[in-house]
Amino acid sequence: MLRMFLSWLWLTVLACPCWALDPAGEAFFARLLALDGRTFTGTTVFPTDPAHEMVGKPLHLRVQVLSPSEIHVPFGVGDDASRTWILRRSPEGLILKHQHLLADGSPDPITNYGGTAVPRLLSLMQAFPADAETAAMLPEAASNVWALAFSPDGRTLTYTLERDQRPRYQARFELTADNP
């Protein structure tokens, strides 16, 4: 019986690689883990141009913990639910990827872009410079840096995209109340 238990325990450990992040990354990931199952609404902060596809549309996200090493955050813009942020622990650090799906549920030709967090940043904010996969898929996005930041009081989560060190997009989500 003990042998079976130890075998099961060993297989469980192998099936769930939980790489340790730097302390700031661990604290940030723990904040996200604590939001599991919750849904939040937000707004586009930048740009303000009404012609932008996300300006003026309701934003919503839902935090879904798949394992101690992976969190999916479906991100909706109006009725468009084709986007998901995927945050994953890895030996290199915390990874952020953007998954996009077509209306039929198949992968969009432009999907799985993102990067690995800058190590030892802040427990309230993680920044993800574009990785080589992103630069190869979207050369114009090679300078992209995505950031996720909690406000010091924990009431908001801000998603930011910069390209060529200039703001390109920012959304802010209120974490004070769950939404359906």
The predicted pLDDT at position 22 comes to 85
The predicted pLDDT at position 19 comes to 65
The predicted pLDDT at position 21 comes to 84
125 within a domain of the structure (yes/no): yes
12 within a domain of the structure (yes/no): no
Is residue 145 classed exposed, middle or buried when 0-12, 13-18 and 19+ CB atoms within 10 A define those classes? Answer: middle
108 within a domain of the structure (yes/no): yes
Share of the chain above pLDDT 90, in %: 78
52 within a domain of the structure (yes/no): yes
Domains identified in the chain, total number:
1
Share of the chain above pLDDT 70, in %: 89
Average pLDDT of the chain to the nearest whole number: 89
Neighbouring residues of 41: CB distance < 8 A, sequence distance ≥ 6: 58, 59, 60, 173, 174, 179
pLDDT digits over 3-20, tens only? 443 343 333 433 445 667
Residue 2 pLDDT exceeds 80? no
The predicted pLDDT at position 113 comes to 98
The predicted pLDDT at position 7 comes to 41
Long-range pairs for 54-62: beta carbons < 8 A, 24 or more residues apart: 54/169, 54/171, 59/171, 59/173, 60/179, 61/85, 61/173, 62/37, 62/38
The CATH number of the domain holding residue 37 is 2.40.128
Residue type, 98: H
14 within a domain of the structure (yes/no): no
| Tokens standing for residue 32 | 């996200």
The predicted pLDDT at position 42 comes to 96
4 within a domain of the structure (yes/no): no
pLDDT digits over 73-131, tens only? 999 999 999 999 999 999 999 999 999 999 999 999 999 999 999 988 899 999 999 99
Query: How large is the average pLDDT for residues 135-142?
Result: 97
Bond into 119 cis (ω within 30): no
32 within a domain of the structure (yes/no): yes
| Tokens standing for residue 53 | 């596809």
pLDDT digits over 34-45, tens only? 999 999 999 999
Residue 68 pLDDT exceeds 60? yes
- Domain ranges, residue 42: 20-174
DSSP secondary structure code for residue 118 in this structure:
P
How far is residue 78's CA from residue 59's CA, in Å, rounded to a whole number? 6
Indicate the pTM of the whole model.
0.87
31 within a domain of the structure (yes/no): yes
